[in-house]
Structure 1
Amino acid sequence: MKFLCDVHISYKLSKKIESLGFESIHVNFILDKWFTSDTEIAKFADSNDYILISKDADFKNSYLINKLPKKLIKINLGNIPNAELILIFETNINLFKKLYKKDSFIVEIDKDNIIYQ
């Protein structure tokens, strides 16, 4: 399972994902770093079979309209402590493993629930 963390996602989450035994890269280390357009990020994620993790609502809209990116985890939690976000990922890693096998999906993580389709 492979993850691509968008610009506003903490490096700490990316490192935690790696410590759990999965591949994780941060947008700030590929392409044009933080200058990379959303479209380029989504295409990179899709062509390399990454799950994109983002707080950016534009990715949700793009997924709903164009299925781009194909695999998206949308964080709707604002600026929560990194430890909380990391705990959410640790707790739900089996769900992400299950969904990873699908051709496309979106997961939305809100304060009180996790919704996926």
Structure 2
Amino acid sequence: MQKIFLIDVNLPRFFSLWNTVEYIHQYDLGDEWSDTEIWKFAESENLTIITKDSDFSSRILLHNPPPKVIHIKVGNMKMKQFHEILNKLWPQVIELNKDFKLINVFSDRIEGVK
């Protein structure tokens, strides 16, 4: 199976939900990459960027995929709570990612932008 998702350096590297061959963490590519380098890599590999960085969600609004962006907007919280929220919402996020170029993930809802 090929890589589908690129996890930005600002998200946990070791997270069981993302511990499959479909996911690659930016740390494994080079944790010093600029946003532009990340964007270009994700674009060339047809990946979806998973991030907490609003720069990527702003950029996708002005472009067409690839890449797509999943913007996690849950704020600061304990890691346990972060895991619980994402584990609950992730199946729906993955489903929406098929049809939307931007998915905004909040602690209580998910929004898709075409």
TM-score range, shorter chain: 0.7 to 0.9
Partner of 2:70: 73
1:59 has 2:56 as partner? yes
Q: Which 4+ stretches in 1 moved above 4 angstroms?
A: none
**Could you say what secondary structure the match of 1:107 adopts?**
strand
Instruction: Supply the distance in 2 between the matched residues of 1:68 and 1:38 (Cα, whole angstroms).
Output: 16
Shift of 1:22: 5.1
What count of residue pairs does the alignment treat as equivalent? 111
**Could you say what secondary structure the match of 2:27 adopts?**
helix
Partner of 2:91: 94
Instruction: In structure 2, list runs of 5 or more residues that go unmatched.
Output: none
**Could you say what secondary structure the match of 1:95 adopts?**
helix
Partner of 2:28: 29
Shift of 1:91: 1.8
Shift of 1:43: 1.9
Shift of 1:92: 2.5
Q: RMSD of the TM alignment (CA)?
A: 2.3
Instruction: Point out the structure with the larger helix share.
Output: 1
Equivalent residues of 1:5, 1:24 under 8 A apart: yes
Q: Which range moves more in the overlay, 34-43 or 61-70?
A: 61-70
Shift of 1:86: 2.3
Instruction: In structure 1, list runs of 5 or more residues that go unmatched.
Output: none
Instruction: Supply the distance in 2 between the matched residues of 1:84 and 1:22 (Cα, whole angstroms).
Output: 25
Query: What's the TM-score, normalizing by structure 1?
Result: 0.76
Instruction: Supply the distance in 2 between the matched residues of 1:89 and 1:22 (Cα, whole angstroms).
Output: 18
Deviations 1:48-98 (A, max 9, x none): 232211111111110111236531111122322222222233222332332
Query: What's the TM-score, normalizing by structure 2?
Result: 0.78
